[in-house]
Structure 1
Amino acid sequence: MKLEMGYFHVQDIVFGEKTFFENGILTINKEEALNIVLQDENITYADLIIAKEGDPIRITPVKDAVEPRCKVSGGVMFPGVTNKLVPVGQGRTHVLKGSCVLAVGKHWGGFQDGLIDMSGPGAKQTMFSQLNNICLVADTNEDFEKNQQQKKNKALRWAALRLAEYVGNCVKDLEPEELDVYEHLPLVQRSKEVRELPSVVYVLQLQSQMLENGYNALVYGWDTNHMLPTLMNPNELLDGAIVSGSFMPSSSKISTYQHANNATIKRLMEEHGKTINFLGAIVSNLNVQLEEKQRSAFFVRQIATSLGAQGAIVAEEGYGNPDSDFILVVDELEDAGIKVVGITNECTGRDGKSQPLVDLSEKANAIVSTGNVSQFIKLPPMEIVIGELESLARDGNSGGWAESVLPDGSIEMENNGVFCADSSTGNHYKTVVEY
């Protein structure tokens, strides 16, 4: 399976009479773009606001992030979600690199929604402060969700997907500035030299703890609560086969943007044929009941051993209850003779002295920490707020509380509520070091 990714590097975003890309500048016809958003009758208000790196801007409540892209050949964007169900991971995809669509609530937030600061100390907490962001600020008539701690946010999240594709289509017929090629051959077609390298598999544990449809991560549009661990070609993940769910404390969430830019997968692909034989990605789920957790762990072990894996990277989306799924998979793989490196955040309390994971094992002896969700942070006021700052304290944000927002607009909160601050794909620069 061969995938070409053509990159167009966005240096600035402005509004204009038509949507086009030229000389590093992305120009967007705002009225036309909003018409794409308002195709959903559930959206009652929508606006677009540009937020760039270094701007004195605070954005909240953020619900998802999507990279503007278009398929030139070999599939569609977001298959099984906003477009028909067809395979992806092959052909050519064009990408407006350095830009991002953020789905932002005009008023209502919740447990799963986060905050992004484009400058100041808060900007160091999340990678999205470094991008040129197209903030889709919208409200909906989904009144049943407004007072719920957990929200599906479907209308706004799906609108962000459509908007990202609309913007991405402006480079469909252009020649990219840079081209990356990802080719993942079947195991039997690999050369003897590649097959003799250490064989490594990547295990991605997606959040899927909600029994009702609409909250969990989607694979080709399929709710991951209803799936068993599945072997996927890594090209499929890089080409948009996974859409982020709404259920997950914000700092631990893997956004749709990060799924399609999974830095761990990209590095494994880069090392393939040089230092490792990269076998593929096992996409797994995170469950609630112990029997479900054990079943998934058994399937991960069976797939990995059938492939002949000697090493594995296991990445967990979230913390708390999912830690038991994470540790079960590590134990199963280690018992099968497969060496494991885990990637996860931790919940060690504000003083850093609490147990980092709910479940532990002596076999989990190589873990990369992506941060402490309980880290206490103080953020100064910002000149501009996109969305509604009060939602952080009012609507049950996972890192906020009733007194989080101070009268001068400054914030006291936990890292838990910073958008994708410590998700496990490697798309960040923050970690915890043990001395």
Structure 2
Amino acid sequence: MKLEIGNFHVKDVVFGETTNYKEGILTINKKEALDYVLEDEHITEADLLIVKPGDKVRLVPVKEAIECRVKVDGTTLFPGVTGDVAPVGNGRTHALKDCSLLVVGKHWGGFQDGLIDMSGEGAKYTYFSQLKNIVLVGDTDEDFEKNEQQKKNKALRWAGHKLAEYIGSCVKDLEPEDIETFELTPVTKRAEDVQKLPSVVFVMQPQSQMEEMGYNDLVYGWDTNHIVPTFMHPNEILDGAMISGSFMPVSSKWATYDFQNNPTIKELYAEHGKTINFLGVIMSNLNVALDQKNRAALFVAQMAKSLGADGAIVSEEGYGNPDADFIACIVALEDAGVKTVGITNECTGRDGESQPLVALDEKADAIVSTGNVSELIELPPMETVIGELESLGRDGLSGGWANDEILGPSVRKDGSIIMENNAMFCGDQICGWSPKTMKEF
């Protein structure tokens, strides 16, 4: 499979008479874009805003992030979601780089929603503060879940996916500024010099624990709760096969943007044929029952061994219960003779002294940490809030609270906040580009 991603590097985003891209400037006709969003009868109100790095803006509750793109051949960007199921990972896709489309609730948030600061101390905690962001902020008629801690956020998330394709269409027929090429020949047909290199597989564990449909990540529009570990071409992940879900504590989530730009996949590609033979991706799952966890781990290990893997990277989306899947997978791979490195965040408590993972094993002796989800963060008031600041404390965001006996409320009367790192939107970036590191004492 050969995927070409034609990049258009956005220098600025503005509103104007027509939606177009010219000389680094992305212009959006705001009315036409909102009319398109409001075609969904479940969207009761919507607005479109632009925020840029350095703006004195706080966004909350943030529900999703997507890179605006278009398939040059006219097929759908997100098969099974924005259109019919169709293969991805081949051909040409055009992408608007250095910007993202954020979906923000006008009022209601939940466990899976988070916060982004575009400037100040809070900006360092999330990658999305570095991007020029087109912000879709809206509300829906999904009254049945407004007061629920766990929300599917379907109407708003789907609106974001469709709008990302709608905006991306403006570069469909343009010549890209540069092209990234991702190509792997079939595993059994690679050149002899490549096959002599250490073979590495990337094991991804997307959120898939909710047995009720609508909360989990999607693969080709199919709920990942239904899948067993499956071998996928990395191009599929980079090209729209995966959609972010609405269940995981938000700092631990992979946004759809993270699937589209997964830095671990890109780094493995960069080393392919030089230092490693990149075999591809085993898309595993996260389970509830212990026997399901062990069974999935055995599937992964058998698949990796059959592919001839010498090494593996395992990355879990989330923490807590998923830690058992994460460690079981690492142990099964090590038992199969596959040297394995894990990528995960930790839940070590506000004081940093608790056990970092729910499950541990001495065979999991090479783990890259992306930080402590429970770390306390205090941030001053922000000049502008997009969404509703009160949602951080009112609606059960994973890092916020209505009131704490010692710390008081997450949202203070002056607009300053205190919260756990948990509430930073995709803040731990377990996909591979976390800015955090470790100190040894």
How would you bin the TM-score normalised by the shorter chain? over 0.9
Match of 1:203 in 2: 203
Match of 1:109 in 2: 109
2:193 paired with 1:187? no
| CA positional deviation for 1:431 | 2.9
Cα distance change of structure 1 residues 433 and 218 upon mapping to structure 2, 3 Å threshold: farther
- After superposition, the C-alpha distances for 1:300-345 in whole angstroms (9 at most, x for unaligned) are 0111011010000000000000000000000000000100000000
2:98 paired with 1:98? yes
Q: What's the % identity of the aligned pairs?
A: 68
Flag as ranges the 4+ runs of structure 1 deviating above 2 A. Answer: 73-76, 431-435
Amino acid across the alignment from 1:251: S
| CA positional deviation for 1:24 | 1.0
Output aligned runs, 1:157-236, within 5 Å.
157-236=157-236
| Alignment root-mean-square deviation, CA | 0.8
Amino acid across the alignment from 2:421: N
Match of 2:340 in 1: 340
Match of 2:329 in 1: 329
Give the Cα–Cα distance (whole angstroms) in 1 for the partners of residues 16 and 221 of structure 2: 34
Q: TM-score, normalised by structure 2?
A: 0.98
Unpaired runs of 5+ in structure 2? 403-408
Match of 2:250 in 1: 250
Is the 2:76–2:82 Cα contact (8 Å) retained in structure 1? no
Give the Cα–Cα distance (whole angstroms) in 2 for the partners of residues 424 and 34 of structure 1: 33
2:431 paired with 1:425? yes
2:367 paired with 1:367? yes
Give the Cα–Cα distance (whole angstroms) in 2 for the partners of residues 271 and 282 of structure 1: 18
Output aligned runs, 1:365-404, within 5 Å.
365-402=365-402, 403-404=409-410
Give the Cα–Cα distance (whole angstroms) in 1 for the partners of residues 286 and 35 of structure 2: 37
Match of 1:412 in 2: 418
2:78 paired with 1:78? yes
Q: Secondary structure at the match of 1:427?
A: coil
Is the 1:74–1:88 Cα contact (8 Å) retained in structure 2? no
How many residues are paired up? 435
Give the Cα–Cα distance (whole angstroms) in 1 for the partners of residues 357 and 440 of structure 2: 15
Is the 1:344–1:423 Cα contact (8 Å) retained in structure 2? no
Amino acid across the alignment from 1:214: G
Match of 1:14 in 2: 14
| CA positional deviation for 1:143 | 0.2
Give the Cα–Cα distance (whole angstroms) in 2 for the partners of residues 74 and 326 of structure 1: 38
Cα distance change of structure 1 residues 306 and 260 upon mapping to structure 2, 3 Å threshold: same
Give the Cα–Cα distance (whole angstroms) in 1 for the partners of residues 153 and 279 of structure 2: 35
Q: Secondary structure at the match of 1:116?
A: strand
Q: Secondary structure at the match of 2:287?
A: coil
Is the 1:111–1:398 Cα contact (8 Å) retained in structure 2? yes
Amino acid across the alignment from 1:228: V
Cα distance change of structure 1 residues 424 and 122 upon mapping to structure 2, 3 Å threshold: same
Amino acid across the alignment from 1:415: N
Q: Secondary structure at the match of 1:4?
A: strand
| CA positional deviation for 1:73 | 2.7
| CA positional deviation for 1:75 | 4.2
Give the Cα–Cα distance (whole angstroms) in 2 for the partners of residues 74 and 303 of structure 1: 34
Q: TM-score, normalised by structure 1?
A: 0.99
| CA positional deviation for 1:362 | 0.3
- After superposition, the C-alpha distances for 1:214-267 in whole angstroms (9 at most, x for unaligned) are 000000111011110000000000101100000010100000000110000000
